[in-house]
């Protein structure tokens, strides 16, 4: 009798184990972490959403205070130390322009549309002057150009890359801020290449409208 009872109990335990083995696994959690990202609102794109192929319109930044409209045909990401930003460039009338966007919480936007080809000599600076500024890293350093005072902001090695898979390029980068204004002036020099000077006008990010085709 005892043997029969043990057989029944062992059989019941075996049945329970088998049921657990074949029990269907619960469905994965469908909470917020598993939710699909919401689709982008293409009618209300921010300047930080801009990418190559978009049409960029900057109110009042064009010639004769008209809107500056261009199609971005190039997106370049740049980093210099801990600073990161991107630039969208494209044709505007008879020249190329660029929109620079930096920052996350406090977004900074600037447009390069000056048709002049500015050389380092036009700034009244020499390569030795820039080397000394780089060594001092003093934000009180400055120079005058175009009737404005330009304050040293930073200088360091930088690298830039595009989304099209091209190999990143490296160069040395200097940045100056217009005293009492929103202008930005940058210089960069790749090894074996001349200095490139770029002049930007600071603009409110809300002045930029992004259209996606």
Asked, for residue 207, whether it belongs to a domain, the answer is: yes
Residue 20 lies in a domain: no
In a domain, 34, yes or no: no
Q: Is residue 21 part of a domain?
A: no
Does some domain include residue 27?
Answer: no
> What is the domain range of residue 164?
42-211
**pLDDT, tens digit, for every residue of 23-53?**
544 444 444 444 555 566 787 899 999 999 9
Number of domains forming the structure of the chain: 1
Is the pLDDT at 86 greater than 80? The verdict is yes
Overall pTM > 0.85: no
- By C-alpha distance, which of 41, 37, 188 is closest to 100? 188
Mean pLDDT of the chain: 87
Structural domain includes residue 33? no
Residue 202 domain-assigned (yes or no): yes
């Amino acid at each position: 009798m005892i043997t029969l009872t043990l057989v029944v109990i062992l059989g019941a335990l075996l049945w329970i184990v088998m049921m657990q083995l074949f029990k269907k696994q619960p469905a994965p959690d469908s909470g917020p972490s598993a939710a699909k990202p919401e689709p982008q609102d293409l009618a209300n794109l921010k300047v930080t959403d801009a990418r190559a192929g978009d049409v960029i319109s900057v109110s009042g930044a064009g010639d004769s205070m008209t809107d500056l409209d261009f199609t971005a045909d190039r997106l370049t990401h740049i980093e210099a130390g801990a600073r990161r930003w991107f630039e969208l460039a494209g044709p505007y009338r008879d020249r190329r322009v660029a929109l620079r966007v930096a920052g996350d919480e406090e977004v900074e936007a600037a447009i390069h549309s000056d048709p002049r080809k500015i050389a380092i000599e036009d700034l009244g600076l020499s390569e030795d002057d820039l080397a000394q500024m780089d060594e001092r890293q003093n934000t009180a350093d400055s120079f005058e150009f175009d009737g404005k005072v330009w304050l040293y902001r930073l200088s360091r090695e930088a690298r830039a890359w595009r989304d099209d898979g091209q190999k990143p390029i490296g160069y040395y980068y200097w940045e100056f801020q217009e005293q009492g204004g929103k202008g930005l002036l940058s210089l960069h020099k790749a090894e074996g290449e001349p200095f490139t000077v770029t002049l930007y006008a600071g603009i409110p990010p809300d002045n930029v409208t992004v259209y996606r085709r």
